[in-house]
Amino acid sequence: MNEELLRYRTSLLRSLRKDHPYHSVAAAALEENLFVTASRPLSIEENIVSIVNTTISQGGTGLLLNNEGFVLTCLHLVGHLQRERHLIRSYVIRDSQKQDFPLDPTFCAWDEEHDLALVRVLRPSSFVRTIPIAQRDPQQGEQVSYHPYPHGRYSFSLDGVIQDASADIQVQKNDESVMRRDSFVCKGRGEIGFSGAPIMSQRGEFLGNLFAGQNPGEDSSIFCTKGKYIHALIQEVISHLRE
pLDDT for residue 105: 82
pLDDT for residue 16: 41
Considering the chain, what percentage of its residues have pLDDT values greater than 70?
Answer: 86
Residues 112 and 148 in one domain: no
Residues 38 and 106 in one domain: yes
Residues 108 and 19 in one domain: yes
Strand partners, 208: 199, 226
Residues 15 and 112 in one domain: yes
pLDDT tens column, 150-186? 999 989 999 999 999 998 888 777 677 878 888 999 9
Q: Which of the listed ranges 20-29, 33-42, 63-72 does the model predict with the highest average pLDDT?
A: 63-72
What's the pLDDT band for 82 if we cut at 50, 70, 90? low
In whole angstroms, give the CA distance from residue 182 to residue 19. 38
pLDDT tens column, 49-69? 999 988 888 899 999 999 999
Distances (CA, A) of 209 to 50, 54, 143: 14, 23, 15
Residues 46 and 104 in one domain: yes
- Computed over every residue of the chain, the mean pLDDT equals 84
Is the distance from CB of 129 to CB of 113 less than 8 angstroms?
A: no
Residues 9 and 107 in one domain: yes
Residues 18 and 100 in one domain: yes
pLDDT for residue 179: 82
By residue range, what is the domain housing residue 33? 3-128+230-241
In whole angstroms, give the CA distance from residue 44 to residue 130. 9
Is the distance from CB of 72 to CB of 99 less than 8 angstroms?
A: no
β-strands 158-173, 91-94: how paired? unpaired
β-strands 107-111, 10-12: how paired? antiparallel
112: pLDDT strictly greater than 90? no
Q: How many domains does the chain have?
A: 2
Count of Cβ atoms closer than 10 Å to residue 108 Cβ: 21
Q: What is the pTM of this model?
A: 0.87
